[in-house]
Amino acid sequence: MKINKLGLGILAGVALIAAGMVLAKNKRKRVSRMLSEVADEGYETAHDILYPGKSKKEKNLRYGPVLPM
């Protein structure tokens, strides 16, 4: 039984999508477990406390006196 190139490509694509979905689900489960453990211990769960190296850059961040428009 021969599988042509198109069928093999489709099969490979489906396998990649399935593997990606499994990896994403595992990552969500790990993060959820970590957050629940932190919450159970009573620690702060703010994003800046959990991930101090990753900062969100605000687009409208201004330094100094700012006059309202």
Q: What is the pLDDT of residue 61?
A: 64
Q: Which pTM does this prediction carry?
A: 0.51
Inside any domain, residue 3: no
DSSP letter, residue 58:
P
Inside any domain, residue 61: no
Inside any domain, residue 42: yes
Inside any domain, residue 4: no
Q: What is the pLDDT of residue 44?
A: 61
Look at phi and psi of residue 2 and say left if phi exceeds 0, alpha if psi is from -120 to 50, else beta.
beta
Inside any domain, residue 36: yes
Inside any domain, residue 26: yes
Domain extent at residue 42 = 20-54
What total of structural domains would you count in the chain? 1
Quick check: 3 pLDDT over 70? yes
Inside any domain, residue 32: yes
Inside any domain, residue 5: no
Quick check: 52 pLDDT over 90? no
